[in-house]
């Protein structure tokens, strides 16, 4: 009895979350101060931005405390720390851009950090709305096919005339009222919901072997059909939009979820096979895939051309070394797309290997905590959704950071919570909100509050 009581009091861990959240905010504040003092920038805009970010994080914490009191206490502080570090680096790169404009005599660029801050607000509001409206994650299963359609539709948006917009050779964005948005980022959330819902209802029949081709069990068409349809549609769109990163991510996600749902390793083998065949075909069919692959093999062969981005990125990492140059003291602006795809390179230059290991450990914590929610929740849909969402964040981190460090070919994705980009930030906050919701369900005691009060009162009779 008193065990239950203690568990109720200790296991919410909301105060720990609050303390960690303040710590995460302070990391960002110190980073910002260091940037300003190293670069001699003293614009007061920073303080209002930092304060509003802090207030908003506190508000988010309050909503978690109210809506999901048993939620995992590490998830929100971890992503907040990443978000704050990203803001500081974007601010730092804004200063570099301003300096360059001054020396070139070109017009002053608009700082990106305030827009990113606005997107942080949107992301946290989305986070709170998800917590408020999705009171029970199991209800999402009802929207399986809606989510599937929505996912495909979101992926298709950029191909539409008028609102679709092409940037740097990829058609991933929609442009409305001057705001650009990358609907593919939200699509990955919708498709994860679809995969989870669909696989939960069909996992047994998918696991049963009905036909064998060359010794490999193939499930019935009607079980696997809709899945493949959605998946192919997704890949087709991505090929048309030239978004290799999201293709790879969705492919990996699909394989992982099939494997988790069916427990059959053959899916992993089939996936690896499809990936190699698909990769080989794409290499032959598409020039841009070929360039990416060749640059991966030898970026220095064309260090000032196709290999420029990755070579500059490697120079940035090398300049950072073990401890980094310190905030504001490196040259991250020399790397193209330093605010978006290559923000890891910027962080690696100024914070060094030590800083990057800390950042990667934050991602390890997020993955581990997401997986813990996936294991602990009591319903199969929750299991699948949580591991799916966790995989999205973990895999995306691996694909993009692996790309900018030349571990894998560069495909182009945002680094979750760090990179400049509103859609990515909002989508990832929604993912964390769902994980928090699932972890809340997993960690909540099976007794209701009312129960507890009753038992507290009648404790003597036990």
Partner 1 sequence: MIRQINRVTSVIVLLLLALIINLSYIQVFKAGDLRSQASNQRVTLTEYSRERGPILLGSSAIVESTPTTDALKYLREYADGSTYASITGFYSVVYGATGIESEANDVLAGNDSRFFVDRLQQLFANREPKGGAIRLTIDPDTQAAAMKSLNGRTGAVVAIDPTTGAILALASSPSFDPNLLSSHDAQDIQNTYEELNADPKQPMLNRPLAMTLPPGSTFKLVTAAAALESGNYTAGSELPGPAQINLPGTDVQLGNWTGKACGAGNTTTLQGALEISCNTAFAWLGMELGANAISEQAKKFGFESEFDVPMTAAISRFPADLNKPQTAMSAIGQFDVRATALQMAMVAAGIANDGVVMKPYLISQVLGPDLTVLQNTNPSAFGRAMSVENSKILRDMMVGVVAKGTASNAKISGISVGGKTGTAENTPGEPAHAWFVGLAPSEQSKVAVAVVLQNGGGAAEVSGNALAAPIAAAVMRAALKK
Name the site residues for partner 1 (rule: CB under 8 A). Answer: 37-38, 100, 102-103, 256, 259-261, 263, 300, 303-304, 311, 314-322, 330-331, 334, 348, 352-353, 356-357, 360, 363-364, 367-368, 371, 374-375, 380, 383-384, 387, 390-391, 394-395, 397-398, 401-402, 405-407
Q: How far is the CB of 36 from partner 1 (least distance, A)?
A: 10
Residues 6+ apart with CB under 8 A from 343: 86, 89, 90, 415, 418, 419, 420
Report d(CA 101, CA 107) in Å as an integer: 6
Q: Of 14 and 369, which has the nearer Cβ to partner 1?
A: 369
Distances (CA, A) of 447 to 1, 3, 379, 444, 453: 11, 12, 17, 8, 10
Q: How far is the CB of 176 from partner 1 (least distance, A)?
A: 34
Report d(CA 114, CA 126) in Å as an integer: 18
Chain centre to alpha carbon of residue 243: 16
Coil, strand or helix at 126: helix
Q: How far is the CB of 384 from partner 1 (least distance, A)?
A: 7
Q: Are 77 and 20 in contact (CB under 8 A)?
A: yes
Report d(CA 171, CA 22) in Å as an integer: 39
Chain centre to alpha carbon of residue 31: 22
Residues 6+ apart with CB under 8 A from 272: none
Residues 6+ apart with CB under 8 A from 352: 320, 321, 322, 323, 324, 325
Q: Of 86 and 328, which has the nearer Cβ to partner 1?
A: 328
Q: Of 275 and 334, which has the nearer Cβ to partner 1?
A: 334
Q: Of 351 and 433, which has the nearer Cβ to partner 1?
A: 351
φ/ψ of 220, rounded to 5, equals: -65, 150
Q: How far is the CB of 22 from partner 1 (least distance, A)?
A: 25
Q: Of 44 and 322, which has the nearer Cβ to partner 1?
A: 322
Q: Of 258 and 426, which has the nearer Cβ to partner 1?
A: 258
* Among 222, 228, 144, 154, CA closest to 186: 154
Q: How far is the CB of 387 from partner 1 (least distance, A)?
A: 5
Q: How far is the CB of 104 from partner 1 (least distance, A)?
A: 8
* Among 355, 362, 356, 357, CA closest to 78: 362
Q: Of 75 and 237, which has the nearer Cβ to partner 1?
A: 75
Q: How far is the CB of 460 from partner 1 (least distance, A)?
A: 39
Percentages of the chain per state (helix, strand, coil), in multiples of 5: 75, 5, 20
Q: How far is the CB of 83 from partner 1 (least distance, A)?
A: 19
Q: Of 259 and 286, which has the nearer Cβ to partner 1?
A: 259
């Amino acid at each position: 009895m008193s065990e239950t009581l203690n568990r109720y009091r200790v296991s919410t861990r909301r105060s720990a979350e609050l303390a960690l959240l303040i710590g995460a905010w302070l990391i960002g504040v110190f980073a910002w101060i260091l940037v300003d003092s190293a670069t001699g920038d003293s614009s007061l805009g920073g303080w209002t931005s930092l304060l509003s970010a802090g207030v908003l994080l506190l508000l988010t914490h309050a909503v978690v405390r109210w809506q999901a009191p048993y939620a995992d206490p590490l998830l929100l502080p971890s992503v907040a720390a990443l978000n704050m570090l990203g803001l500081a680096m974007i601010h730092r790169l804004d200063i570099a851009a301003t300096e360059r404009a001054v020396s070139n005599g070109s017009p002053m660029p608009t700082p990106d950090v305030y827009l990113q801050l606005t997107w942080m607000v949107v992301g946290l509001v989305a986070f709170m709305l998800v917590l408020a409206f999705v009171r029970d994650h199991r209800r999402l299963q009802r929207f399986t096919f809606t989510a599937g359609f929505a996912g495909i539709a979101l992926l298709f948006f950029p191909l539409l005339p008028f609102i679709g917009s092409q940037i740097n050779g990829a058609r991933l964005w929609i442009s409305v009222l001057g705001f650009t948005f990358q609907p593919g980022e939200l699509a990955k959330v919708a498709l994860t919901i679809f995969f989870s819902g669909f696989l939960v209802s069909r996992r047994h029949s998918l696991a049963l072997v009905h036909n064998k081709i060359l010794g490999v069990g193939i499930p019935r068409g009607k079980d696997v059909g809709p899945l493949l349809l959605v998946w192919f549609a997704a890949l087709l769109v991505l090929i048309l939009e030239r978004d290799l990163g999201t293709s790879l991510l969705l492919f990996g996600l699909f394989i992982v979820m099939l494997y988790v749902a069916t427990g059959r390793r053959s899916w992993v083998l089939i996936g690896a096979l499809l990936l190699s065949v698909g990769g080989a075909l794409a290499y032959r069919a598409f020039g841009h895939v070929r360039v990416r692959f060749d640059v991966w093999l030898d970026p220095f062969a064309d260090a000032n051309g196709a290999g420029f981005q990755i070579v500059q990125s490697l120079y940035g990492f090398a300049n950072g070394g073990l401890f980094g140059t310190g905030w504001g003291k490196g040259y991250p602006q020399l790397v193209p797309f330093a605010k978006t795809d290559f923000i890891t390179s910027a962080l690696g230059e100024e914070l060094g290997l030590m800083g990057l290991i800390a950042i990667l450990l934050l991602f390890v914590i997020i993955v581990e905590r997401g997986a813990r929610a996936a294991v602990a929740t009591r319903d199969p849909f929750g299991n699948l959704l949580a591991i799916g969402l966790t995989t999205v964040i973990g895999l995306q981190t691996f694909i993009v950071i692996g790309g900018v460090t030349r571990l894998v070919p560069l495909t182009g994705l945002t680094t979750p919570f760090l990179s400049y980009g509103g859609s990515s930030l909002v989508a990832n906050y929604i993912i964390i909100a769902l994980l928090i919701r699932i972890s809340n369900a997993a960690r909540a005691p099976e007794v209701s509050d009312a129960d507890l009060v009753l038992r507290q009162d009648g404790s003597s009779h036990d």
